[in-house]
Each structure stands twice: as structure tokens, then as C-alpha cells.
């Protein structure tokens, strides 16, 4: 392991299923000498990215809490968007989850969320959790904003070179429809029994390709409720994009038609 990669590979070992590790366990999982892993762990502890736990185990450290606060304060989408989510949930008038998600590299991730009322199950989307790139209203709405060349590169990298051309063409057609409509509605693509409604938040000046989404119970999403919720999301997204555009000194649009 060399350079930054050696630290990242160690940190990526930590997840919800396994939150503490010993150096020998890390070395075995990574296929690396324990001595080199120990040196990297020592540096990560010194920088507060790891901290000692019990019996020679290590867990994630306080640096992540510090940087999380900094991101919340400095990322314009989170800083301006997160305070709006409670209002969107209130206006929805039904049990729901409200999500603010964006594209980071080749990953769609929720950066802020709030919930109100009782849904039949907990939505998989939650802050800080990477989600499928080509499934669900939230991700598809983000992909639909991308230039064709970048979209093709992204799909090829995620799906692999063996992806049938017909499958890629089908996805491009779906994204074209979403782009023209200015919103996306999906049912059960991520969580059974739940439906997602999403509208775009596109601010090229800030390098932001994002979406504002609602997750509701699929069984209660009739045509009338869907129409009302989409209009409400579009209005909320427009206000947020105007704020984001003003923060750059320019004009931005939601990408909706």
C-alpha cells in the first residue's frame, strides 16, 4: 500500500457491520503485512481519523465529526437546502421522508434528510449512505441532468463493459423522458411498498447535480396526490436553486421544462 490509498483502504474497512478492528485483522483483510498496516494506523490515530477502543481494537475517530460539521457549514447545497426539508415535509401533508441527494463522482448520496409520520418501512436512503446509481427516482433525476458524454462514461464505469447496448439505450431513453418532464416518479425500485418522487436541482456554476425527493407509501399515491406533490417539489426546488444561483452571483435553473 502506498500514498493516500493505504489510508483509504484501512478506513473503508469500517462499516455498520464491523465498527472495530485490530491491526492483525486489518492486515488479514487487506492482504498486507501487519507492520505496514500498524504504521498507517499509527498515523491515522495521530490525525484523529482512528482512535483506540478496547483490547487493541480501533474505531473511527473524531476527525470525521469535525469534518462533518465543516461540510454542513460550507457546502452550499446542504447549508441552504437542509433547513427547507422540514417545510417540504409539512407541506406534503402525508407520512414521508424528504431527501436532498447529489452526485459525488460516480456515487449518488443523500446529504440531508428528514422524516414525518409513519411509513410502512424505513427508506433505504439516509444521510451519508451511497445509493444505486441507476435505480430509483432520486438517482435517475440526477443522471438525467448530465451531458450525454459524461453519462455514457459513468454508466460504462458502473455497469461494466459487458452491459448490453440495448440496456444502455433503454436507460438513456428513460432519462430523456425524465429530463423533458422535469421530474421522476418510481414505485418499489429501492424499497418495497414505497414510492419516490424527485425533481432536479442543477447548479453548474457550483458543480452541483442534485435532486429533491419525497418518499411516500406507494399504496396511497394516487394521481391527485402525485400531481400535488410534484408541483410542491418543483416549487421548493425552484426556490432553492434561485438561492444557490444567487450565492454564485449568477442565474441557475432547475432543469425542469
Residue matched to cell numbers 457546502: 75
Instruction: Delimit the CATH 1.10.10.10 region(s) of the chain.
Output: 3-65
Instruction: Delimit the CATH 3.30.450.40 region(s) of the chain.
Output: 75-248
- Evaluated on CA atoms 11, 15, 17, 20, the torsion sign reads positive
Q: Which CATH number fits domain 3-65: 3.90.1640.10, 1.10.1740.10, 1.10.10.10, 3.30.465.10?
A: 1.10.10.10
**Strands lying side by side in the sheet with 50-52:** 21-22, 57-60, 50-52
Q: Are 94 and 101 in contact (CB under 8 A)?
A: no
Q: Are 208 and 102 in contact (CB under 8 A)?
A: yes
CATH superfamily of this structure's domain 75-248: GAF domain (3.30.450.40)
Q: Report pLDDT for 40.
A: 95
Q: Are 213 and 101 in contact (CB under 8 A)?
A: yes
Q: Report pLDDT for 110.
A: 93
What proportions of the chain, in percent to the nearest 5, are helix, strand and coil? 50, 20, 30
Collect all residues with Cβ–Cβ distance below 8 Å to 162 and sequence separation of at least 6: none
Alpha-carbon distance of 229 to 132, in angstroms, equals 24
Q: Report pLDDT for 144.
A: 92
Reference 101, options 76, 128, 124; nearest CA is 128
Reference 257, options 202, 210, 195, 188; nearest CA is 202
**Strands lying side by side in the sheet with 107-116:** 130-131, 107-116, 96-104, 208-217, 194-203, 184-187
Q: What are phi and psi of 138, to 5 degrees?
A: -60, -50
Alpha-carbon distance of 114 to 91, in angstroms, equals 13
Q: Report pLDDT for 164.
A: 59
Q: Are 84 and 91 in contact (CB under 8 A)?
A: no
Reference 215, options 30, 53, 89; nearest CA is 89
Alpha-carbon distance of 185 to 203, in angstroms, equals 22
Burial class of residue 83 (count of CB atoms within 10 Å of its CB; 0-12, 13-18, 19+): exposed
Q: Report pLDDT for 113.
A: 94
Enumerate residue ranges in the chain where pLDDT < 50. Answer: 161, 250-257
Amino acid at each position: 500500500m502506498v500514498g493516500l490509498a493505504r489510508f483509504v483502504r484501512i478506513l473503508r474497512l469500517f462499516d455498520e457491520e464491523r465498527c472495530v478492528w485490530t491491526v492483525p485483522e486489518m492486515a488479514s483483510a487487506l492482504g498486507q503485512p501487519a507492520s505496514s498496516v500498524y504504521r498507517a494506523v499509527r498515523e491515522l490515530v495521530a490525525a484523529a481519523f482512528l482512535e483506540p477502543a478496547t483490547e487493541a481494537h480501533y474505531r473511527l475517530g473524531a476527525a470525521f465529526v469535525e469534518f462533518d460539521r465543516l461540510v454542513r457549514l460550507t457546502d452550499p447545497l446542504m447549508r441552504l437546502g437542509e433547513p427547507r426539508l422540514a417545510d417540504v415535509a409539512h407541506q406534503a401533508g402525508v407520512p414521508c421522508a424528504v431527501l436532498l441527494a447529489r452526485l459525488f463522482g460516480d456515487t449518488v448520496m443523500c446529504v440531508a434528510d428528514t422524516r414525518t409520520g409513519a411509513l410502512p418501512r424505513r427508506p433505504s436512503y439516509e444521510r451519508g449512505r451511497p445509493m444505486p446509481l441507476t435505480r430509483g427516482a432520486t438517482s435517475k433525476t440526477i443522471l438525467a441532468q448530465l451531458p450525454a458524454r459524461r453519462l455514457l462514461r459513468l454508466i460504462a464505469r458502473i455497469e461494466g463493459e459487458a452491459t448490453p447496448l440495448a440496456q444502455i439505450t433503454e436507460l438513456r431513453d428513460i432519462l430523456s423522458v425524465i429530463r423533458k418532464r422535469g421530474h421522476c416518479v418510481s414505485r418499489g425500485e429501492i424499497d418495497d411498498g414505497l414510492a419516490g418522487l424527485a425533481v432536479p436541482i442543477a447548479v453548474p456554476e457550483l458543480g452541483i447535480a442534485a435532486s429533491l425527493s419525497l418518499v411516500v407509501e406507494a399504496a396511497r399515491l394516487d394521481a391527485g396526490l402525485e400531481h400535488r406533490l410534484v408541483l410542491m417539489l418543483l416549487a421548493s426546488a425552484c426556490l432553492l436553486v434561485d438561492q444557490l444561483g444567487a450565492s454564485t452571483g449568477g442565474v441557475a435553473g432547475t432543469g425542469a421544462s
